[in-house]
Amino acid sequence: MAKEGLRYTLFSRRALLVAGLQGLAITILGGRLYYLSIVQGAKYRLRADENRISTRLLSPERGRILDRFGSAIADNRRDFQVYLIPEQTGKVSQTLAKISKMIKLQPHQIARVEEQASRQRKFIPVQITDGLNWQDFSRLNAEVADLPGVYPDEGMIRYYPHGQEFAHIVGYVAAPRAEDLDISKDPLLLLPGFKIGRQGLEKRFEDTLQGSAGRKRVEVNAVGREVRELPPRQEASEGTDLRVTLDSDLQKYVNKRLGEEAAGVVVIDITNGDVLALASTPSYDPNDFIGGMSRENWQSLLNDPRKPLLNKCTGGQFPPGSTVKMLVALAALEKGLIKPNTRFTCEGKHELGDHTFHCWQRKGHGAVDLKTAIARSCDVYFYHIAELLDIDDLAKSARRFGLGVKYDIGIDGERRGLVPDRGWKLATQGEKWQLGETLNVSIGQGAMLATPLQLAVMMARLASGNMVEPRLIFNEGKLDISKSVQFQSLGIAPQYMDFLHQAMAGVMRPQGTAYDVRRPKSAPQLAGKTGTAQVRRITMEEREKGVLKNEDIAWASRDHGVFVGYGPVVDSRYAVAVLMQHGGGGRAAAAVGRDILDFAIANQSGLQPKKQGSAALNSAATGGQYG
């Protein structure tokens, strides 16, 4: 009995200990539960909601790019698109194969979708294509029940209504690259179908045009798939419109007049510096880049010898040829080295040491004064000036009129050109400047290079006597498109400016190099200067036999044609620069420049919008306003 009592006592103690331990455990658990659910309840409810509710970005509508009159040159339009959710569709390649039977998908599109689907989370949609027509969109909607994970959608897409005509200015948008994501870290770039500026104004003003993302709250399941949207919803803020100085009608006329020539043309309003036209041909259609361009098409653009991807107006550097002779003449006049009536005799060539410098007129021009030398573009006359004029003074005159300067008008890729002098040669080649090099530069050859934009600025300054600065982007605030700008004077003596104006008007008159493109006396008179930039070396053997004509040699060996001009001569308003790459010479460029100036004057370009499809605009094929 004693043993049983002892056993009972021990059991009771153990049971009490276990019960105590259990009670303590329950008390601790209860306390912890109370702490988590009551004391820290709000905190953990918030965390649970954060895991259940996700914030998604809403893509903003991109700001438009408008011409000076408010006409859109880069716009947005409703678009039919189709997306794919990889986790819901099974094998992506099989789904794409089915879709390809209903709508046309290019191999590069299919490769892009497969690559994107493989590297991102499976529940995130991937855009298959956009720009669908109504028929294809309807067909997909009818078949979507048999295509798990595929859903057609309606959204907004960038659209360039004028196609090629503004491509080098506005550029284009495209899907972000991997390096864009690394640099930006902007979550907007991850949205399906989101595009960013890749070239031109689209790229340069990306922050202005992009706008701000909106936000929506959605309930998601355990794998992050959207279940339903929760209020409130914050709509995206559309981007800010960008307004440029271009006149769409003049820009379109210039493009039509150039056709498929490899050329660059810039038209500037002399009174305010507004760039009214900036056309580089041939061009490309920026709409082709939005959905992704095929490798074949891209290679064809890259391999085209006429360089359709290059903006020749700002990024093309060419010898300006004889168009710089006014600057050489002015430098010599201001230094007192010559007078307007100074005469030199041209026999078709000029000897300097053991080297012969030739005039374009093989038989020579005879005895000529400065005005005649400019009108008839006598090279030998300017060789004589070059022997008297220091290269640094010549370079100073060129820079004074806008050569060798970057204007940063808003388009990336602008080149500075080159105005050579002693310091440049010593720094780049470690050699002293030679007199023979000055002779070459005096006729716009040798190391001298310029862009069509710089040549247009040069002509605007020659026409006005003021330091005209080009402008492509309108400043903020109320626009007054007809208002003149008070530019600083270049400080040139009036008698010299009058003399140069008379000489440039003589270029368009009998015996002038542009007389072949003369116009009726009733037409507003123009002034200008032709230039022919030689791109191949002519041997003595060829000179003896007869220099080959441009039409008889390969395109890439033909001379560049250059023309700079302004009009009307009285109350001048428009300055133009025309560069025709391998165009065969200055006269061809002068014909184009004449027609463009005629159109601008007749239609008061930049001052009032024109009706689309007007007779004036359609006259490009017939050669301008005055026949």
**Catalytic positions, written as ranges:** 322
Distance (Å, whole) CA 546 – CA 292 = 51
Q: What are phi and psi of 307, to 5 degrees?
A: 55, 65
Distance (Å, whole) CA 248 – CA 115 = 40
Distance (Å, whole) CA 110 – CA 92 = 10
Of 535, 517, 530, the closest CA to residue 376 belongs to 530
Strand partners, 101: none
Both tokens of 446, joined, read 């040798």
Q: What is the DSSP string of 466-513?
A: B----B-BPPSS---TT----PPB----HHHHHHHHHHHHHTTSTTST
How many residues are recorded in the chain? 627
Both tokens of 270, joined, read 């002399």
CA distance readout (Å), 226 to 174, 217, 461, 556: 27, 10, 63, 59
Both tokens of 30, joined, read 């209860």
Sequence letter at residue 327:
L
Instruction: Return the half-sphere exposure (C-beta side, CA atoms, 13 A cut-off) of residue 517.
Output: 29
Q: What are phi and psi of 580, to 5 degrees?
A: -110, 105
Both tokens of 185, joined, read 């870290």
- Cβ distance 394 to 337 under 8 Å? no
